[in-house]
Structure 1
Amino acid sequence: MNHTAEAPAVWDPSFAGADDCLLSSDQCVIRAEHYFVKGLIEIPVIGSDEVFSWGVWVSLSRESFSRAADMWNSPGRECEKPYFGWLTTDLPVYSPTTLGLKTHLHTRPVGERPCVELEPTDHPLAVEQRMGITLDRVQRIASAAFHSGASERR
């Protein structure tokens, strides 16, 4: 019920080890100019209590990233206002591309990955987040992700 991207779409393995780059399981910095946080796009599964989630990366401004990093281990961080960002994960099961969709990153209690709320547009991913998906759709996504390696793509 979860597929995740290991890094933002703009990450290149050659960045690993550079002094001005960082890639952890939760945060990413590229050339000390681009800042990302990993969150979950949660999609309700119709007719169940289940939720399907995409582990995705959101690009934040330097100020928002700095604030999120400062609050990362602080109890009560879930009371922070959402951070505006841009989706920087390509989910190839959707057309058009998911890159560049507008988001709001909502922090949750310490130890929980942030929730990514997509701007309510007519993009298929945004529609699915609002309306939910069937279990059959979850199975089709899982099959497509397995066959294309989408769960391991940047």
Structure 2
Amino acid sequence: MTDVSWERGVEWLSAAAKDPRVCKRDWDRGEGIALLAAGRYWDVLSVPDRLGLLALDLLWQPGLPVPGPTLVDTAAHRVGFFLPPDPDSRWVGAGLRYAGRGSWVAVPPPYRPSRFLEWLVPPAGTGALHAPVTLELALRQANGTLALLTPPGAGEAE
């Protein structure tokens, strides 16, 4: 990521903060993570990391647009996909969490990881986000692949 694109990414992300100047200052001081409001500029779909990492890999295909901003939380084992705001969104599935209006998302600066949060695809500041239909197809395909790779009975209580 070039200096210009990470600077645009900082501006774009910090716009969702209560006070964008304080957010940028905290990031510059290395204080790490900002709580940013979802629902205005973007929403976030959070999925289990195995599913999310496989789906992201499927989205990096020739002929498809570069995937939108994607965040990994290594402590919670989750991947967050940034989507256009949609108050009527109805993502349904085991382990799916949707953060829209009224939700807050912990976010590191786009130019470095912070503790357990790291950008897999940092925001470039252009406003580009994941296309919901494309992401849904990738998640369905990834879920099917994981079902084939998981041995019968795996994860069941003994």
TM-score class, shorter: under 0.3
User: How high is the TM-score relative to the length of structure 2?
Assistant: 0.26
Higher CA-based Rg: 2
TM-score by length of 1: 0.26
- Of Structure 1 and Structure 2, which has the larger fraction of its residues in strand? 1
Question: Which protein has greater RCO, CA pairs closer than 8 Å, 6+ apart?
Answer: 2
